[in-house]
Amino acid sequence: MDATQNLSLMPLISGASLPVQLVMGLLLMVSLLSWWFIFLKMFAIRQAKSQSDVFEEAFWGHPDLARLYKDFLDEREAAGSLERIFAAGYSEFVKLKKKSDMDNAAVMDGARRAMRATYQREMDDLESHLSFLATVGSVSPYVGLLGTVWGIMNAFRGLSNVGQATLAHVAPGIAEALIATAMGLFAAIPAVVAYNRYATDTSRLSSRFESFMEEFSNVLQRQP
């Protein structure tokens, strides 16, 4: 090793040993994926919120359930989670009501179950990929650290062949190894922040859905 080494970024990455490069590649992929999910979730949660707002306003504004259900059937594509929960409950309620032998409690139970099932599905969709973000946030620093430790081991192994050890002999190896840690942290920090943010958002949405389900059950119960 030569003291006047090129310490810019690209030579450091291309000059790293194979395991370190593998770790870097893995981290880059993970980081790309996690950022993709971050943006995907951001858009999805924002959309779910705005759709819920719009539907709640429509629902409490003029509670003509049959018309709301007809609107949903007309624009199935644009429907939000809350609207789907409402539609599942209402359609089940209407179907059960048609059977004259059912008593009111059984009808309510059926509508409730239908809403709960849809609610579970919606929450599952909203929470999808969040576990990936959590995993990236907790694991990728360790993966980066593994690459760094490997790189530093190599750097010190190379040092053993040199009689007079100077900082210039180890510095490039350590610098290239530390890039792995930097990449791990770069992948982990946004993932952790995004996970916490989105976990709060989805739990708030979930409580909003649940309270809507309770209120809607009451509305259904008042139906003749």
Partner 1 sequence: MSAAVSSEPYKLSAGALALLVHGAFFLLLYVSFSWQMKPPQGMVVDIWESLPAEFDVQAPVTAPAPIEKPEPAKPPRVEAAPALPPRADIDLKDKKKKLKAESTAEQRLAEKKAEQAERRMEEVERQAQARSQARQKEQAEAAAAAGRVVDEYIAKIAAKVRRFIVLPPGVSPQIRAEFNVTLLPGGEVLNASLAKSSGNEAYDAAVERAILKAQPLPLPPAEKNMFNRFRDLRLKFSPAESGQ
* Residues binding partner 1 (CB under 8 A): 4, 6-10, 28, 31-32, 35-40, 42-44, 47-48, 79-81, 84, 121-122, 125-126, 128, 186
Question: Whole-angstrom Cα distance, residue 147 to residue 1?
Answer: 21
Minimum CB distance to partner 1, residue 102 (Å): 28
Question: Whole-angstrom Cα distance, residue 5 to residue 17?
Answer: 16
Minimum CB distance to partner 1, residue 2 (Å): 10
Minimum CB distance to partner 1, residue 113 (Å): 18
Minimum CB distance to partner 1, residue 44 (Å): 4
Question: In the complex with partner 1, which residue's Cβ is closer, 97 or 121?
Answer: 121
**DSSP string covering 66-119:** HHHHHHHHHTTTT--HHHHHHHHHHHHHHHHHHSTTS-HHHHHHHHHHHHHHHH
Question: In the complex with partner 1, which residue's Cβ is closer, 170 or 183?
Answer: 183
Minimum CB distance to partner 1, residue 224 (Å): 31
Question: In the complex with partner 1, which residue's Cβ is closer, 153 or 159?
Answer: 159
Question: In the complex with partner 1, which residue's Cβ is closer, 41 or 112?
Answer: 41
Question: In the complex with partner 1, which residue's Cβ is closer, 2 or 103?
Answer: 2
- Cβ count within 10 A of residue 154: 18
Question: Whole-angstrom Cα distance, residue 60 to residue 47?
Answer: 20
Question: Whole-angstrom Cα distance, residue 167 to residue 185?
Answer: 26
